[in-house]
Amino acid sequence: MFKINDYIMYGTTGICKVIDIVEEKDRNFIKKEYYVLNHIYENNTIIKIPTDNTKIFMRKILSKEEVEDIVENEKLSELIWIDSERQRNESFKALVKTGDFSNWVKLVRSITAKKKEKNALGKKLTQSDEIIMKNSEKLLFEELSIIFAFNEKEAYKYILNL
């Protein structure tokens, strides 16, 4: 269970701050506890989610040490690529939705490497690959900006230096 003032990763929405925990009646008039979340990059976005939610992943943001361990492990891991665009799109979207920081790092590294390879041949990434990369980068950057107090440029450099 999260506490008030915890920073959490909420689905693919991004980093949110738990600003309150309230008890309210649901549609069936049963009392339930809800987290009241404020998306940190969209201050006007308030989200209310049941504390027993299992449909959308929620996790505390990682510690510096956890990020550094993941980064070190990812440096040694192989890049991923699936030649079939449809299968790659489905697989990559599923990896984004896991909420797993290491999956996001792997996606950004893999798609960036493929982008460089294609650029050298005068080609471009598919639109779906670009979208998945941007979504993964956004989630990584938000988390890194809180953990390391990075700006977007510093977070991007951190990921690309893997």
Quick one: pLDDT band at residue 119, thresholds 50, 70, 90? very high
CATH of 64-160, picked from 1.20.58, 3.40.50, 1.10.3470, 3.40.190, is: 1.20.58
Q: What is the pLDDT of residues 96-111, one digit of tens each?
A: 999 999 999 999 999 9
- R_g of the chain, CA atoms, integer Å: 18
pLDDT of residue 13: 93
pLDDT of 162 above 80: no
Q: Which residues pair with 22 in a beta bridge?
A: 34
Helices 127-148 and 152-160 pack at an angle, to 10 degrees, of: 110
Closest CA to 48 of 33, 60, 61, 28: 33
pLDDT of 161 above 80: no
Percent of the chain with pLDDT over 90: 78
- Confidence (pTM): 0.88
